[in-house]
Protein backbone atom coordinates (compact mmCIF):
# COMPACT_ATOMS: atom_id res chain seq x y z
CA UNK A 1 0.00 0.00 0.00
CA UNK A 2 1.08 3.56 -0.53
CA UNK A 3 -0.12 6.20 1.90
CA UNK A 4 -0.47 9.81 0.77
CA UNK A 5 -0.98 12.77 3.08
CA UNK A 6 -2.50 15.87 1.52
CA UNK A 7 -2.68 19.26 3.19
CA UNK A 8 -6.21 20.51 2.49
CA UNK A 9 -6.01 24.14 3.58
CA UNK A 10 -3.43 26.68 4.43
CA UNK A 11 -4.90 27.61 7.82
CA UNK A 12 -2.24 27.34 10.46
CA UNK A 13 -2.36 25.96 13.95
CA UNK A 14 -4.55 23.17 15.27
CA UNK A 15 -7.30 23.55 12.62
CA UNK A 16 -5.18 22.44 9.70
CA UNK A 17 -6.94 19.70 7.72
CA UNK A 18 -5.23 16.73 6.16
CA UNK A 19 -6.44 14.02 3.86
CA UNK A 20 -4.83 10.65 4.36
CA UNK A 21 -5.32 8.18 1.53
CA UNK A 22 -4.14 4.61 0.92
CA UNK A 23 -3.77 3.02 -2.42
CA UNK A 24 -3.30 -0.66 -3.24
CA UNK A 25 -0.12 -0.75 -5.26
CA UNK A 26 0.11 -4.48 -5.88
CA UNK A 27 -2.57 -4.45 -8.59
CA UNK A 28 -1.04 -1.36 -10.21
CA UNK A 29 2.37 -3.02 -10.16
CA UNK A 30 1.01 -6.23 -11.63
CA UNK A 31 -0.63 -4.35 -14.50
CA UNK A 32 2.50 -2.33 -15.08
CA UNK A 33 4.60 -5.51 -15.22
CA UNK A 34 2.14 -7.15 -17.63
CA UNK A 35 2.33 -4.11 -19.87
CA UNK A 36 6.11 -4.04 -19.96
CA UNK A 37 6.29 -7.83 -20.51
CA UNK A 38 3.91 -7.38 -23.40
CA UNK A 39 6.00 -4.63 -24.97
CA UNK A 40 9.14 -6.75 -24.56
CA UNK A 41 7.43 -9.78 -26.16
CA UNK A 42 5.95 -7.76 -29.00
CA UNK A 43 9.31 -6.16 -29.74
CA UNK A 44 11.00 -9.53 -29.73
CA UNK A 45 8.38 -11.03 -32.06
CA UNK A 46 8.80 -8.15 -34.49
CA UNK A 47 12.59 -8.17 -34.24
CA UNK A 48 12.91 -11.80 -35.29
CA UNK A 49 11.60 -11.41 -38.86
CA UNK A 50 13.27 -8.01 -39.09
CA UNK A 51 16.67 -9.51 -38.21
CA UNK A 52 16.14 -12.18 -40.82
CA UNK A 53 15.25 -9.54 -43.42
CA UNK A 54 18.37 -7.53 -42.62
CA UNK A 55 20.51 -10.66 -42.91
CA UNK A 56 19.13 -11.52 -46.33
CA UNK A 57 19.52 -7.96 -47.59
CA UNK A 58 23.15 -8.02 -46.54
CA UNK A 59 23.72 -11.37 -48.28
CA UNK A 60 21.98 -10.18 -51.44
CA UNK A 61 24.14 -7.08 -51.57
CA UNK A 62 27.29 -9.09 -50.90
CA UNK A 63 28.07 -12.77 -51.46
CA UNK A 64 24.87 -13.63 -53.34
CA UNK A 65 24.94 -10.55 -55.58
CA UNK A 66 25.33 -12.54 -58.78
CA UNK A 67 23.68 -15.79 -57.76
CA UNK A 68 20.33 -15.78 -59.49
CA UNK A 69 18.97 -18.99 -57.96
CA UNK A 70 19.88 -17.90 -54.43
CA UNK A 71 18.34 -14.50 -55.09
CA UNK A 72 14.93 -15.95 -55.99
CA UNK A 73 15.00 -18.23 -52.99
CA UNK A 74 15.99 -15.41 -50.61
CA UNK A 75 13.39 -13.03 -52.01
CA UNK A 76 10.69 -15.61 -51.38
CA UNK A 77 11.79 -16.04 -47.77
CA UNK A 78 11.98 -12.25 -47.36
CA UNK A 79 8.45 -11.88 -48.62
CA UNK A 80 7.23 -14.44 -46.06
CA UNK A 81 9.02 -12.59 -43.26
CA UNK A 82 7.50 -9.29 -44.36
CA UNK A 83 4.05 -10.91 -44.42
CA UNK A 84 4.67 -12.27 -40.93
CA UNK A 85 5.52 -8.78 -39.66
CA UNK A 86 2.37 -7.43 -41.28
CA UNK A 87 0.25 -10.12 -39.57
CA UNK A 88 1.81 -9.36 -36.21
CA UNK A 89 1.18 -5.65 -36.62
CA UNK A 90 -2.44 -6.26 -37.70
CA UNK A 91 -3.05 -8.44 -34.65
CA UNK A 92 -1.37 -5.94 -32.33
CA UNK A 93 -3.53 -3.15 -33.74
CA UNK A 94 -6.65 -5.31 -33.31
CA UNK A 95 -5.76 -5.92 -29.68
CA UNK A 96 -5.22 -2.25 -29.01
CA UNK A 97 -8.48 -1.27 -30.74
CA UNK A 98 -10.39 -3.83 -28.70
CA UNK A 99 -8.74 -2.66 -25.47
CA UNK A 100 -9.74 0.92 -26.21
CA UNK A 101 -13.36 -0.16 -26.58
CA UNK A 102 -13.31 -2.45 -23.52
CA UNK A 103 -15.36 -0.09 -21.36
CA UNK A 104 -17.96 0.77 -23.96
CA UNK A 105 -21.04 -1.44 -23.66
CA UNK A 106 -22.00 -3.48 -26.73
CA UNK A 107 -25.39 -2.40 -28.00
CA UNK A 108 -26.28 -3.85 -31.39
CA UNK A 109 -28.47 -6.85 -32.07
CA UNK A 110 -26.24 -9.32 -33.87
CA UNK A 111 -27.66 -12.41 -35.52
CA UNK A 112 -25.16 -15.20 -34.88
CA UNK A 113 -26.49 -17.41 -37.69
CA UNK A 114 -25.50 -14.73 -40.20
CA UNK A 115 -22.10 -14.22 -38.57
CA UNK A 116 -21.28 -17.96 -38.46
CA UNK A 117 -22.48 -18.65 -41.99
CA UNK A 118 -20.57 -15.65 -43.29
CA UNK A 119 -17.33 -16.71 -41.55
CA UNK A 120 -17.71 -20.35 -42.61
CA UNK A 121 -18.25 -19.21 -46.22
CA UNK A 122 -15.25 -16.91 -46.16
CA UNK A 123 -12.95 -19.60 -44.72
CA UNK A 124 -13.98 -22.28 -47.17
CA UNK A 125 -10.99 -21.70 -49.47
CA UNK A 126 -8.55 -21.99 -46.54
CA UNK A 127 -10.32 -25.16 -45.32
CA UNK A 128 -10.24 -26.71 -48.79
CA UNK A 129 -6.58 -25.83 -49.07
CA UNK A 130 -5.83 -27.62 -45.81
CA UNK A 131 -7.99 -30.61 -46.71
CA UNK A 132 -10.66 -29.90 -44.11
CA UNK A 133 -14.41 -29.80 -44.58
CA UNK A 134 -16.49 -27.37 -42.53
CA UNK A 135 -19.74 -28.98 -41.41
CA UNK A 136 -22.46 -26.64 -40.11
CA UNK A 137 -25.06 -27.42 -37.47
CA UNK A 138 -26.59 -23.98 -37.29
CA UNK A 139 -30.10 -23.38 -35.94
CA UNK A 140 -32.39 -21.66 -38.38
CA UNK A 141 -32.06 -17.99 -37.53
CA UNK A 142 -32.18 -15.46 -36.31
CA UNK A 143 -30.38 -16.20 -33.05
CA UNK A 144 -29.52 -12.76 -31.75
CA UNK A 145 -27.24 -11.47 -29.01
CA UNK A 146 -26.30 -7.97 -27.96
CA UNK A 147 -22.89 -7.41 -29.43
CA UNK A 148 -20.49 -5.83 -31.83
CA UNK A 149 -20.81 -7.49 -35.23
CA UNK A 150 -17.21 -6.96 -36.35
CA UNK A 151 -15.79 -8.20 -33.07
CA UNK A 152 -17.97 -11.32 -33.01
CA UNK A 153 -17.01 -12.00 -36.61
CA UNK A 154 -13.38 -11.83 -35.56
CA UNK A 155 -13.98 -14.30 -32.68
CA UNK A 156 -15.42 -16.97 -34.95
CA UNK A 157 -12.94 -16.23 -37.68
CA UNK A 158 -10.08 -16.93 -35.25
CA UNK A 159 -11.71 -20.07 -33.82
CA UNK A 160 -12.66 -21.59 -37.18
CA UNK A 161 -9.30 -20.67 -38.68
CA UNK A 162 -7.53 -22.39 -35.75
CA UNK A 163 -9.69 -25.50 -36.16
CA UNK A 164 -8.72 -25.61 -39.85
CA UNK A 165 -5.02 -24.93 -39.17
CA UNK A 166 -4.58 -27.25 -36.19
CA UNK A 167 -7.23 -29.82 -37.12
CA UNK A 168 -6.56 -32.98 -39.02
CA UNK A 169 -6.27 -32.85 -42.77
CA UNK A 170 -8.82 -35.19 -44.34
CA UNK A 171 -11.22 -34.77 -41.40
CA UNK A 172 -14.06 -32.36 -40.87
CA UNK A 173 -14.61 -29.59 -38.39
CA UNK A 174 -18.04 -28.88 -36.93
CA UNK A 175 -19.42 -25.38 -36.44
CA UNK A 176 -22.47 -25.50 -34.20
CA UNK A 177 -24.93 -22.89 -32.97
CA UNK A 178 -27.72 -23.81 -30.59
CA UNK A 179 -29.89 -22.49 -27.84
CA UNK A 180 -29.30 -24.26 -24.52
CA UNK A 181 -32.11 -23.19 -22.21
CA UNK A 182 -31.73 -19.45 -21.80
CA UNK A 183 -28.15 -19.43 -23.06
CA UNK A 184 -26.73 -19.54 -26.54
CA UNK A 185 -23.80 -21.79 -27.36
CA UNK A 186 -21.63 -21.42 -30.42
CA UNK A 187 -18.91 -23.98 -30.79
CA UNK A 188 -16.14 -25.00 -33.14
CA UNK A 189 -14.92 -28.57 -32.93
CA UNK A 190 -12.01 -30.23 -34.67
CA UNK A 191 -10.65 -33.77 -34.77
CA UNK A 192 -7.01 -32.80 -34.76
CA UNK A 193 -4.19 -33.80 -32.41
CA UNK A 194 -5.74 -32.00 -29.42
CA UNK A 195 -4.04 -29.91 -26.73
CA UNK A 196 -2.36 -31.37 -23.63
CA UNK A 197 -4.19 -30.32 -20.42
CA UNK A 198 -1.37 -28.24 -18.99
CA UNK A 199 -1.50 -25.82 -21.92
CA UNK A 200 -5.22 -25.17 -21.86
CA UNK A 201 -5.31 -22.50 -19.10
CA UNK A 202 -2.60 -20.52 -20.91
CA UNK A 203 -4.02 -20.56 -24.45
CA UNK A 204 -5.47 -17.06 -24.23
CA UNK A 205 -2.21 -15.46 -23.07
CA UNK A 206 -0.67 -13.14 -25.60
CA UNK A 207 1.96 -14.87 -27.75
CA UNK A 208 1.31 -18.25 -26.10
CA UNK A 209 1.76 -21.13 -28.53
CA UNK A 210 1.59 -24.82 -27.74
CA UNK A 211 4.13 -25.74 -30.36
CA UNK A 212 6.23 -23.09 -31.96
CA UNK A 213 6.95 -25.20 -35.04
CA UNK A 214 3.32 -26.01 -35.83
CA UNK A 215 2.21 -22.47 -35.11
CA UNK A 216 4.95 -20.92 -37.26
CA UNK A 217 4.22 -23.38 -40.07
CA UNK A 218 0.57 -22.37 -39.82
CA UNK A 219 1.41 -18.66 -39.86
CA UNK A 220 0.37 -18.14 -36.24
CA UNK A 221 1.16 -15.08 -34.17
CA UNK A 222 -0.04 -16.44 -30.83
CA UNK A 223 -2.39 -13.47 -30.50
CA UNK A 224 -5.61 -14.96 -31.95
CA UNK A 225 -7.01 -16.42 -28.75
CA UNK A 226 -5.92 -13.38 -26.72
CA UNK A 227 -8.02 -11.28 -29.09
CA UNK A 228 -10.92 -13.74 -28.69
CA UNK A 229 -10.70 -13.51 -24.90
CA UNK A 230 -10.71 -9.69 -24.90
CA UNK A 231 -13.70 -9.52 -27.20
CA UNK A 232 -15.66 -12.08 -25.20
CA UNK A 233 -14.98 -10.23 -21.94
CA UNK A 234 -16.56 -7.14 -23.46
CA UNK A 235 -19.56 -9.29 -24.44
CA UNK A 236 -19.75 -10.95 -21.01
CA UNK A 237 -19.48 -14.26 -22.79
CA UNK A 238 -17.31 -17.20 -21.74
CA UNK A 239 -14.93 -19.38 -23.70
CA UNK A 240 -14.94 -23.05 -22.71
CA UNK A 241 -12.11 -25.17 -24.12
CA UNK A 242 -12.29 -28.96 -24.14
CA UNK A 243 -9.59 -31.06 -25.66
CA UNK A 244 -8.34 -34.60 -25.65
CA UNK A 245 -4.95 -35.53 -27.04
CA UNK A 246 -5.38 -37.72 -30.09
CA UNK A 247 -9.10 -36.92 -30.43
CA UNK A 248 -9.49 -33.21 -30.99
CA UNK A 249 -10.59 -29.95 -29.42
CA UNK A 250 -13.71 -27.87 -29.04
CA UNK A 251 -13.92 -24.16 -28.35
CA UNK A 252 -17.37 -23.10 -27.13
CA UNK A 253 -18.58 -19.53 -26.67
CA UNK A 254 -21.37 -19.27 -24.09
CA UNK A 255 -23.52 -16.15 -24.19
CA UNK A 256 -25.22 -15.30 -20.89
CA UNK A 257 -29.02 -15.36 -20.68
CA UNK A 258 -29.45 -11.68 -19.76
CA UNK A 259 -27.65 -10.69 -22.92
CA UNK A 260 -30.16 -12.45 -25.11
CA UNK A 261 -32.97 -10.95 -27.03
CA UNK A 262 -35.14 -13.75 -28.29
CA UNK A 263 -36.40 -13.05 -31.74
P1 LIG B 1 -1.89 -18.66 -33.37
O2 LIG B 1 -1.82 -17.37 -34.08
O3 LIG B 1 -0.53 -19.23 -33.06
O4 LIG B 1 -2.80 -19.65 -34.01
P5 LIG B 1 -3.77 -18.51 -31.15
O6 LIG B 1 -3.76 -17.55 -30.00
O7 LIG B 1 -4.96 -18.50 -32.05
O8 LIG B 1 -2.43 -18.25 -31.93
O9 LIG B 1 -3.59 -19.96 -30.57
C10 LIG B 1 -2.56 -20.20 -29.62
C11 LIG B 1 -2.05 -21.62 -29.75
O12 LIG B 1 -3.04 -22.54 -29.30
C13 LIG B 1 -1.71 -22.05 -31.17
O14 LIG B 1 -0.41 -21.67 -31.53
C15 LIG B 1 -1.86 -23.56 -31.08
O16 LIG B 1 -0.67 -24.11 -30.56
C17 LIG B 1 -2.95 -23.74 -30.03
N18 LIG B 1 -4.28 -24.01 -30.64
C19 LIG B 1 -5.25 -23.10 -30.90
N20 LIG B 1 -6.34 -23.69 -31.43
C21 LIG B 1 -6.07 -25.01 -31.49
C22 LIG B 1 -6.79 -26.17 -31.95
N23 LIG B 1 -8.02 -26.08 -32.46
N24 LIG B 1 -6.16 -27.39 -31.85
C25 LIG B 1 -4.91 -27.50 -31.35
N26 LIG B 1 -4.19 -26.44 -30.90
C27 LIG B 1 -4.74 -25.22 -30.98
Give percent of the chain above pLDDT 90. 72
pLDDT digit string (tens) for 67-112? 999 999 999 999 999 999 999 999 999 999 999 998 899 989 999 9
DSSP state letter for 104: S
CA of 91 to the centre of ligand 1 (A): 14
Half-sphere exposure of 88 (CA within 13 A, CB side): 21
pTM summary value? 0.86
Contact 133, 175 (CB under 8 A): no
Q: Is the CB of 94 under 6 A from ligand 1?
A: no
Taking CA atoms only, the protein residue closest to ligand 1 atom 8 is: 222
**Backbone torsions φ then ψ of 105, nearest 5 degrees:** -70, 145
Question: CA angle, corner 32, sides to 29 and 35, nearest 5?
Answer: 150
pLDDT digit string (tens) for 30-72? 888 888 899 999 999 999 999 999 999 999 999 888 999 999 9
pLDDT digit string (tens) for 158-192? 999 999 999 988 999 999 999 988 899 999 999 99
Q: What is the rounded distance in angstroms from the CA atom of residue 163 to the CA atom of residue 168?
A: 9
The region that residue 136 occupies, defined by phi over 0 for left and psi between -120 and 50 for alpha, beta otherwise, is: beta
Q: Is the CB of 228 under 6 A from ligand 1?
A: no
Q: Is the CB of 248 under 6 A from ligand 1?
A: no
**Backbone torsions φ then ψ of 124, nearest 5 degrees:** -60, -45
Mean pLDDT in the chain? Answer: 91
Taking CA atoms only, the protein residue closest to ligand 1 atom 11 is: 209
pLDDT of residue 262: 47
Amino acid sequence: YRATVLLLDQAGGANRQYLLSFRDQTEAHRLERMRSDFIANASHELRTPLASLSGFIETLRGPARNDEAARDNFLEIMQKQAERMARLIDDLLSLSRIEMKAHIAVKDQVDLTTVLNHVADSLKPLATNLGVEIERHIEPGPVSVLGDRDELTQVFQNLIENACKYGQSGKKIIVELKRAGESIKASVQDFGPGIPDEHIPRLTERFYRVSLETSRAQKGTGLGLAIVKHILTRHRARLVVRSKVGEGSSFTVMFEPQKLERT
